[in-house]
């Protein structure tokens, strides 16, 4: 491979990070080019090289070298590097295990809106790992990750509201977040929803239905199917391509029929400016009020 081709490859890989969490390098020429860029201070190349050593892609695995390069990138405020560095401190990978350092690096990444770091921070507070258990902080960070579509965060947040873990019990909010996680195929969320008395015995069928089956049920006026279809369009899960406009359409269809979870979803969408909508406090308040009155 020519030097120009190597440079092009490295540039592409760096540009894609952190969308591609595991770097793949197959030749010594590629690794040499990445190493050269890393030694010159390119934070993306430093992260890439750290991942290469961490996974053993074209080189023997070397946790210490992985830690060295990821640490350099993390200190340059690269959010995915900060997430991975936190993971390495938490596991004692390439360095001494240090839960407090793990928490500190996850917080740095989470504050830059890195969703997996927000989940990690929320889980740390939820379970009391590396810090005192704090359900309020867990709710805060899990909520941020959940808003970005992280299914595990949606599940834990739903569980908190459903069971009143350190927050006022709110079955409707719990069901809403569990439904979002379930729409992405989160098995624990589906199982938990199955025991909701107000859902009924057909819960599993709704979640396991194909797009065509769900669409048919939605078109026939089944509000649960309309809501689940909206969730699939919102997340791009279970064989449905993500489509914000269709998600909004089906949330509205279900909400207009008095379906409270859909009303609450619309309130969140307009309050936080999700699905491409601009924040609209007035519309959010209207939907939240309708949900409370219904």
In a domain, 94, yes or no: no
**Whether the Cβ atoms of residue 110 and residue 85 lie closer than 8 Å to each other:** no
Domain count, the chain: 2
In a domain, 27, yes or no: yes
Number of Cβ within 10 Å of residue 199's Cβ equals: 16
- Report which listed range, 1-10, 103-112, 170-179, is most confident: 103-112
In a domain, 223, yes or no: yes
Determine the Cα–Cα distance for residues 105 and 85; give it in Å rounded to an integer.
7
* Mean of pLDDT values over 40-54: 93
Which structural domain, as residue segments, surrounds residue 274? 209-294
**Whether the Cβ atoms of residue 36 and residue 68 lie closer than 8 Å to each other:** no
Determine the Cα–Cα distance for residues 207 and 231; give it in Å rounded to an integer.
11
Determine the Cα–Cα distance for residues 8 and 98; give it in Å rounded to an integer.
37
Which residue do the tokens 């407090």 mark?
Answer: 100
In a domain, 65, yes or no: yes
Mean of pLDDT over the chain: 83
**Whether the Cβ atoms of residue 14 and residue 48 lie closer than 8 Å to each other:** yes
* Mean of pLDDT values over 164-177: 85
The pLDDT, as a whole number, for residue 231 is 81
Percent of the chain with pLDDT over 70: 83
In a domain, 116, yes or no: no
| Peptide bond preceding 230 in cis form (omega within 30 of 0) | no
Chosen domain end from 89, 118, 142: 89
Determine the Cα–Cα distance for residues 175 and 157; give it in Å rounded to an integer.
10
Say yes or no to pLDDT of 97 above 90. yes
* Mean of pLDDT values over 99-117: 96
Measure Cα distances from 43 to 11, 81, 138, 184 in Å. Answer: 12, 9, 30, 33
In a domain, 148, yes or no: no
The pLDDT, as a whole number, for residue 196 is 55
In a domain, 109, yes or no: no
The pLDDT, as a whole number, for residue 29 is 87
Say yes or no to pLDDT of 3 above 80. no
Chosen domain end from 71, 89, 107: 89
**Whether the Cβ atoms of residue 249 and residue 265 lie closer than 8 Å to each other:** no
Chosen domain end from 89, 111, 141: 89
Determine the Cα–Cα distance for residues 155 and 159; give it in Å rounded to an integer.
6
Q: What share of the chain is helix, strand, coil (3-state, %, to 5)?
A: 70, 0, 30
Determine the Cα–Cα distance for residues 160 and 216; give it in Å rounded to an integer.
33
pTM: 0.65
Question: Domain holding 213: CATH number?
Answer: 1.25.40
């Amino acid at each position: 491979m020519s030097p120009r081709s190597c440079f092009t490859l490295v540039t592409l890989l760096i540009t894609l990070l952190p969308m591609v969490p595991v770097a793949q390098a197959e030749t010594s020429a590629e690794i040499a080019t990445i190493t050269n860029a890393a030694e010159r201070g390119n934070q993306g190349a430093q992260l890439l090289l750290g991942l290469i050593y961490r996974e053993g892609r074209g080189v023997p695995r070397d946790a210490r070298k992985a830690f060295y390069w990821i640490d350099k990138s993390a200190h340059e405020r690269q959010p995915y590097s900060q997430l991975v560095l936190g993971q390495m401190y938490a596991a004692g990978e390439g360095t001494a295990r240090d839960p407090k350092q793990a928490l500190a690096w996850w917080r740095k990444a989470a504050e830059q809106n890195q969703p997996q770091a927000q989940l990690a921070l929320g889980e740390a507070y939820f379970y009391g790992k590396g810090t005192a258990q704090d359900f309020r902080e867990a709710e805060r960070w899990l909520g941020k990750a959940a808003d970005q579509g992280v299914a595990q965060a949606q599940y834990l947040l739903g569980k908190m509201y459903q069971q009143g873990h350190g927050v006022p019990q709110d079955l409707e909010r719990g069901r809403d977040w569990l439904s979002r996680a379930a729409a992405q195929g989160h098995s624990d969320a589906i199982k938990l929803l199955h025991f909701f008395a107000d859902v009924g015995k057909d819960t599993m069928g709704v979640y396991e239905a194909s797009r065509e089956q769900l669409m048919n049920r939605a078109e026939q006026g089944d509000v649960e199917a309309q809501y689940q279809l909206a969730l699939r369009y919102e997340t791009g899960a279970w064989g449905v391509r993500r489509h914000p406009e269709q998600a909004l359409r089906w949330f509205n269809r279900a909400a207009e029929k008095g379906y409270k979870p859909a009303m609450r979803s619309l309130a969140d969408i307009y309050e936080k400016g999700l699905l491409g909508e601009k924040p609209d406090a007035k519309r959010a308040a209207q939907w939240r009020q309708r949900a409370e009155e219904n």
